[in-house]
Amino acid sequence: MSDVFFIDKNTGFITGYGIFKTTTGGGVVSVKDEKELNNNVTKQLILFQNYPNSFNPMTTIRFKLEIPGYINLKIYNLLGKEIHTLIQGRYETGEYKIQWNAKNLPSGIYLYRLQAEDFTETKKLILLR
C-alpha cells in the first residue's frame, strides 16, 4: 500500500501497485508477492510522477521500459471511471514521455495507471484551474 485517498467522508480508495480497494466496490487490480515484486517489477518498468503536478492544462507522464512489451496508459477519475487512454500497444525498451492535455476537464485529482504484462502501477495527478 502506498496511499489512501478520500473524496469525501464516505468515498475513498487504497493504492499501491494498482488500486486495491474502493469504498464503492472497487476490487483488486494487481497483488503480487512482495519478494516477486522486488525481484521483477523494478527490472521491467518504472513509472515516474507526472510533471508538473499540479498542472493546468498540460502535464507530462514519463516511464521507462526495461523489456519490450504491450502496455496501456490510462487516466481515471477518483470514482474509477476511465477518462482517456493515452497509449495502448507494443513498446520497445526505452524511456518514454507522454503529454496529456486535460483542457476539457474540471479541476480535481485524477489517476494514471500503467499496465505492462504482469505489472500495474497507479499514481495521482492534480488538475488546478
pLDDT for res 41: 42
**pLDDT above 70 coverage of the chain, percent:** 67
Give the range of the structural domain holding residue 96, as residue numbers without chain letter: 3-127
Interatomic CA distance for residues 90 and 106, integer angstroms: 31
Q: What does the DSSP assignment read for 9-45? A: SS-EEEEESEEEEETTS---S----HHHHHHHHHHHE
Interatomic CA distance for residues 111 and 83, integer angstroms: 10
Structural domain total, the chain: 1
pLDDT in tens, 18-29: 545 555 555 544
pLDDT for res 4: 66
Q: pTM of this prediction?
A: 0.68
Low-confidence ranges of the chain (pLDDT < 70): 1-9, 12-43
CATH number at residue 20: 2.60.40.1930
